[in-house]
Amino acid sequence: MLLIEMFVFLGTIAFAISGSLLAIQKRLDIFGVLLLGLTTALAGGVIRDLMIGNIPPTNLAEPQYFLVSLLASLSTIIFFERIKKFNHSIAFFDAIGLGVFTAVGANAVLSFEYSQPFLIITMGLVTGIGGGVLRDVFVQEIPQVFRKEVYGMASIAGSVALIISYDFVSPIISLYICLTVTFTIRMLALKWKW
Amino acid sequence: MLLIEMFVFLGTIAFAISGSLLAIQKRLDIFGVLLLGLTTALAGGVIRDLMIGNIPPTNLAEPQYFLVSLLASLSTIIFFERIKKFNHSIAFFDAIGLGVFTAVGANAVLSFEYSQPFLIITMGLVTGIGGGVLRDVFVQEIPQVFRKEVYGMASIAGSVALIISYDFVSPIISLYICLTVTFTIRMLALKWKW
Amino acid sequence: MLLIEMFVFLGTIAFAISGSLLAIQKRLDIFGVLLLGLTTALAGGVIRDLMIGNIPPTNLAEPQYFLVSLLASLSTIIFFERIKKFNHSIAFFDAIGLGVFTAVGANAVLSFEYSQPFLIITMGLVTGIGGGVLRDVFVQEIPQVFRKEVYGMASIAGSVALIISYDFVSPIISLYICLTVTFTIRMLALKWKW
């Protein structure tokens, strides 16, 4: 398995956990917890695929991401008491998710032979935050990206780094640069409570 | 008119009524009541069409479903005092709507020559619950599918039944099997308050 | 620059301001204010493009509308104390936005060689109200179009005027007729508190 695919699974798991945890807090039933976990993990990629014309969206056509999300959500239910103590590690996984999904989303634009820098940034952002926005809307919260300054900004900075580095290094390297920049900025924001 | 088309109109009417009733409860004005009825009845099919690339979406390009929804919503306003007494029959129509839309949604995937079982299930679910999710989001409620365990499950079970039966019976029969399974499970859930 | 393009920029600015003002009222941080302004200004066009198959959506692929929206949102933050006094002029700009976006949305359908009258009306409506609906959903309000009777109606009347006039005058004239009808009805509704 390619390293990047492993990261995608890691990001998917992190987002599924964040959705399931919020659903449990909001006292949804089991189906609701699973569905919110799945929505958080898969919706960003679906929205991006609609916008770049990748039909049907990969996350709905291929079951592996669904299965991983389902497993992560089920595990969240089973190990809820233990996981909720690790809010810090959740934020850590969430930051990985944001970084991975931004990188994969920005990169998907390039692999579809579009190259407008602006489109790359918006698709990175939509992929990175889309699932979380729906998660929050569905449980009646103002989406986190509107409330935390250095959340969307981290994604944008990552995509800018991808665009700048793209002409100088191999595509896969610039993808990791994007992931690293997004993740690092988000973690610094958490640490210093930006 | 084919029997299935008659069921589609029945499902459309049921969903339009459910949207309009909720809008009246929330004290929206007449335009708001009509718009919420239309959204509930038409949005699930629109979202599914976007996801399988049926552009422009049938519900926006052809007026018959719009007209039926509009009529149903107008009737809900006129006969509000009478309809609201029949909460039980509303739930009955809503279950028909869920069954019909799941069956039509799952079937639309097959008619577009995709055949991944996972895509069939997700498109059945999106078509079945999409309108209701938007209805609830627009009036500031947590969507019903997140709160009622055997709502989304009924849709998923119906699509699974469609997939299993598809190789053994004619497509139209497996469509009715899907409708019947979804509807029956949903009605049983209502009866036994699952 | 064509006159209509100037109107599109004016509508974009008006919607960006309305989104940013609401975000400031809701005490979102700076990134949230900018993002809500951008969402309000750009989302209607994005949704319409998805529905007519204009992929990737113009508002995400070309940066000029984004830049204008960003500037308008930044100005709203800087001049907040002054702008908020002019609620009346905001409503005036918002009515221009509704008129322009309805006209451009309805017209986009014709330029994509679809011609169903019903699709023209729905796409005018989606383009005109889509951004505002997302704006309100994201800050936990029932969307304005569900609460103000003569908001969606103004858009629909404008598109009907476009369809009727299309066979008698040049396309650009019927576009201005649509804009004028929508804008006038909306302004009258505001004046007489319909």
Interval B33-76: pLDDT, tens = 999 999 999 999 999 999 999 999 999 988 999 999 999 999 99
Q: Are A155 and A129 in contact (CB under 8 A)?
A: yes
Q: Which residues of A touch B148 (CB under 8 A)?
A: 29, 31
Q: Which residue of B has its CA nearest to A46?
A: B51
- Report residue C19 as tokens: 């989104």
The pLDDT value recorded for residue A171 is: 84
- The full DSSP string for chain B is --HHHHHHHHHHHHHHHHHHHHHHHTT--HHHHHHHHHHHHHHHHHHHHHHHT-SS-HHHH-HHHHHHHHHHHHHHHHTHHHHGGGHHHHHHHHHHHHHHHHHHHHHHHHHTT---HHHHHHHHHHHHHHHHHHHHHHTT---HHHH-HHHHHHHHHHHHHHHHHHTTS-HHHHHHHHHHHHHHHHHHHHHTT-
| Helix or strand run (H / E) with residue C175 | helix C171-191
Mutate to test the interface with A, among C60, C134, C135 (most CBs of A within 10 A): C60
Reference A12, options A58, A50, A56; nearest CA is A58
What is the distance between the alpha carbons of residues A23 and A18, in angstroms, rounded to a whole number?
A: 9
Ramachandran bin of A113, using left for φ above 0, alpha for ψ from -120 to 50, beta for the remaining angles: left
- State the residue for tokens 């055949």: B115
CA quadruple B128, B130, B135, B141: dihedral positive or negative? positive
Q: Name the residue among C116, C143, C145 with its Cβ closest to that of B61.
A: C116
Q: At what angle do helices C149-166 and C117-138 cross, to 10 degrees?
A: 150
Our CA-based measurement puts residue C56 at a distance from the nearest CA of chain B, in whole angstroms, of 13
Where residue C86 falls among pLDDT bands split at 50, 70, 90?
Answer: low
Q: Which residue of B has its CA nearest to A32?
A: B146
Query: What ipTM was predicted for this assembly?
Result: 0.91
Interchain contact, A116 vs C62, CB within 8 Å: yes
Q: Any chain A CB within 8 A of the CB of B160?
A: no
C90, pLDDT greater than 90? no
Q: Any chain B CB within 8 A of the CB of C146?
A: yes
Interchain contact, C142 vs B46, CB within 8 Å: no
Rg, C-alpha atoms of chain A: 16
The pLDDT value recorded for residue B172 is: 87
Count other Cβ atoms within 10 Å, centred on residue B160. 17
What are the pLDDT digits (tens) for A6-64?
888 988 998 999 899 999 989 999 999 999 999 999 999 999 999 999 999 999 988 99
What are the pLDDT digits (tens) for B65-94?
999 999 999 999 998 877 767 666 667 878
Average pLDDT, chain C: 90
Pairs of residues, one from chain A and one from chain B, whose beta carbons lie less than 8 Å apart: 64
Where residue A194 falls among pLDDT bands split at 50, 70, 90?
Answer: low
Interface of A with B in 8-27 (CB under 8 A): 23, 26
Q: Are A144 and A160 in contact (CB under 8 A)?
A: no
